[in-house]
Amino acid sequence: MDPIRHLVLFFFYILFITKTNADVIVCKNLGAKIFLEPKDVVMVILSQKEGYHAAHADLTQKHIYEQASAMEKKSPKVVLSHKLDIKGSWMITPLLIYLSDQFPNAKWFFFCLENTVIQLAKLLIVLEKFDVSQNVWIGHALYDHEPTIIHHFAKNKKFKYPHVAAGFAMTFKLLKSLARQISADKEPKIDFSIDASYEFADFVLKSTNTRLTHVSKICIVSSSDCATYPRIFYQCNSPAVDKVFFAVKTCAKYHTDRIPVIKNTWTKYSINVGYFSDIADHNLREAYVVANTTEGHCAKTYGILQAASNLMKRYKFDWLVIADDDTIFSVARLLGLLTCYNPEHLIAIGERYGFRMWDSHHGYQYLTGGAGIVLSAPLVREIIKPGVCECPSATTPDDMYLFGFCLSRLGVELVHSSMFHQARPTDYAYAYLALQEPISFHKFWMLDPEAVYDEWFAEADSDLPKPPMHVEL
């Protein structure tokens, strides 16, 4: 077993044992009989294959089994989506036909992430209050306060969609109806999948006219009344700033407005950072010059990968972080996150999007560039091997091709982290960010980016050393 995964398993096993004992006491003191049996519920954990995330999923499954045993009941069926090998399972819809066929006797399906804490007895009490013979789905409802780019600027006021990390449940009747819709190929076709929760809620509403019911006991912050709530991901070891190289992608027209912002915020610390531009002028004399493109940027990003690979070999860097010149980071949180992954493996981390993915047969997923993309050193070397990932054209979309289509062809499983954000803080529901410790936001449009950094990241980064380092090609 990977040593990092072993440590994560041990650490969270101690936490889960403590929590399970408390759940047993709560279960004995509930006072009312629970009529819904655990075996009537299928627990679907939307998990990831990478060892750190798989370890969390294994422990969540173990926790469910232990609680059922403490209740002296037959355990729910637990499905770890990463073990099914169904492409695009994170979008939920590709799982529905499988779940409908595999579990025809289930009454409820509960969907969650690998970091969702589930108080089984309390969840059963919540579920049995609803009529299982109806199209019902419940969760912690989110909604947009204004049209946002991540939801295709939809104008549905107070349209509710679930906080997936808190979990949501639907009756078998509803799930079966949705599976029939997909089988009949009546689902709407969309080019880009950006927020699976929102897009799934839209599909449910359009297919069955069923709206999400908000349930307060499906929580985003832990309390004694909660049936479920998300657990924060923590770093695994002490971070090493000298093992990470940050490559900032820019061009001459932004040397005077964007570059000063990031130099005043996240790149002011002692990090290994390089600025990759079309020229080195008096505003950015230290720029590494790479071929520029006005759109798509595949050739430019590929050039950055080639130059960065030389630097990583010379200075023995473990990780490459590629960022836009209008991306704001918490360097400290990013460094902490990377301690949970093995840099000797082929790893790509960021925010996952999908292109023309609706079921398990179409499209591909990719890491979106504006949120920031993290690559392990061996993966960088693999991408730039001759004949492996050369751009079809200079203006091919770089993130979609290099960090999506090409990685899929290489058999590299993307690692999604909800702490990376392609958009601005104002583009996300308040409750969605409430329990997060974000790593990045993107775009300087209609906001003060330095104020965003001060609000979200400055405190976390305050212990980082200064001033910045610079490495030579």
Same domain flag for 290 and 311:
yes
Residue 252 Cα to chain centre, angstroms: 32
Q: In what order do the strands lie in the sheet with 192-193?
A: 192-193, 352-355, 364-367
List, as own/partner pairs, every contact residues 33-37 make where C-beta atoms lie below 8 angstroms and the sequence separation is at least 24, other chains included. 34/71, 34/121, 34/124, 34/125, 34/128, 35/128, 36/107, 36/108, 36/124, 36/127, 36/128, 37/73, 37/74, 37/124
37 has pLDDT over 60 = yes
C-beta separation of 55 from 5 below 8 A: yes
390 has pLDDT over 50 = yes
Q: What is the mean pLDDT of residues 254-263?
A: 97
Summarised one tens digit per residue, pLDDT across range 164-202 is 999 999 999 999 999 999 888 755 567 889 999 999 999
2 has pLDDT over 70 = no
Residue the block writes with tokens 């004949």: 387
Same domain flag for 273 and 225:
no
Percent of the chain past pLDDT 90, that is, above it, reads 79
Indicate the range of 64-73, 408-417, 426-435, 464-473 predicted with least confidence: 464-473
* Other beta carbons less than 10 A from residue 342's beta carbon: 15
- Choose one of 230, 255, 277: the last residue of a domain: 230
Amino acid at residue number 295:
E
Same domain flag for 74 and 182:
yes
Query: 192: which 2 tokens?
Result: 């880009």
The pLDDT, as a whole number, for residue 367 is 98
The pLDDT, as a whole number, for residue 152 is 86
Give the chain's mean pLDDT: 90
The pLDDT, as a whole number, for residue 27 is 44
The pLDDT, as a whole number, for residue 24 is 42
Half-sphere exposure of 204 (CA within 13 A, CB side): 29
* Residue 109 within any structural domain of the chain: yes
Same domain flag for 212 and 166:
yes
Summarised one tens digit per residue, pLDDT across range 118-161 is 999 999 999 999 999 999 999 999 999 889 999 988 887 789 99
The pLDDT, as a whole number, for residue 363 is 82
* Residue 466 within any structural domain of the chain: no
- Choose one of 201, 230, 259: the last residue of a domain: 230
Of residues 20 and 93, the one with the higher pLDDT is 93
Q: Which CATH number belongs to the domain containing residue 84 in this structure?
A: 3.90.550
264 has pLDDT over 60 = yes
Q: What is the mean pLDDT of residues 315-328?
A: 97
Same domain flag for 255 and 217:
no
Burial grade of 49 (CB within 10 A; 0-12, 13-18, 19 or more): middle
Q: What is the mean pLDDT of residues 85-110?
A: 95
Confidence of residue 33 (pLDDT cuts 50, 70, 90): low
* Residue 178 within any structural domain of the chain: yes
The pLDDT, as a whole number, for residue 31 is 47
* Other beta carbons less than 10 A from residue 216's beta carbon: 12
Same domain flag for 353 and 421:
yes
Confidence of residue 32 (pLDDT cuts 50, 70, 90): low
Same domain flag for 173 and 307:
no
User: What is the bridge-based pairing of β-strands 228-230 and 213-214?
Assistant: unpaired
Confidence of residue 30 (pLDDT cuts 50, 70, 90): very low
Distances (CA, A) of 271 to 110, 249, 351, 361, 456: 43, 16, 22, 42, 19
Same domain flag for 160 and 276:
no
- In DSSP terms, 375 is beta-bridged to 320, 348
C-beta separation of 226 from 118 below 8 A: no
The pLDDT, as a whole number, for residue 435 is 79
* Residue 173 within any structural domain of the chain: yes
Nearest to 94 by CA among 415, 417, 357, 411: 357
Same domain flag for 189 and 73:
yes
Show Cβ contacts of residue 12 under 8 Å, excluding neighbours closer than 6 positions: 55, 56, 59
Number of alpha helices (DSSP H) and beta strands (DSSP E) in the chain: 15, 22
Burial grade of 101 (CB within 10 A; 0-12, 13-18, 19 or more): exposed
* Residue 235 within any structural domain of the chain: no
Q: What is the mean pLDDT of residues 254-259?
A: 96
Summarised one tens digit per residue, pLDDT across range 52-69 is 999 999 999 999 999 999
* Backbone Cα Rg of the chain: 23
- Choose one of 203, 230, 257: the last residue of a domain: 230
The pLDDT, as a whole number, for residue 358 is 64
C-beta separation of 350 from 408 below 8 A: no
Residue the block writes with tokens 């359009």: 206
Same domain flag for 87 and 177:
yes
Q: Which CATH number belongs to the domain containing residue 359 in this structure?
A: 3.90.550.50
C-beta separation of 421 from 442 below 8 A: yes
* Residue 421 within any structural domain of the chain: yes
C-beta separation of 336 from 348 below 8 A: no
Looking at the structure of the chain, the number of domains it has is 2
Amino acid at residue number 15:
L
Q: Residue 245 belongs to what domain range?
A: 241-461
Confidence of residue 359 (pLDDT cuts 50, 70, 90): low
Backbone angles phi, psi at 163, to 5 degrees: -80, 105
- CA dist., res. 447 & res. 425, Å (int): 10
- CA dist., res. 129 & res. 219, Å (int): 17
* Residue 435 within any structural domain of the chain: yes
C-beta separation of 404 from 365 below 8 A: yes
DSSP string, 368-436: -GGG-EEEEHHHHHHHTSTTTS--SSTTSBHHHIIIIIHHHHHTPPPEE-TT--SS-GGGS-HHHHHT-
The pLDDT, as a whole number, for residue 466 is 80
What length is written for the chain?
473
Q: What is the mean pLDDT of residues 430-434?
A: 91
The pLDDT, as a whole number, for residue 28 is 44
Amino acid at residue number 17:
I
* Residue 413 within any structural domain of the chain: yes
Same domain flag for 209 and 299:
no
Same domain flag for 209 and 292:
no
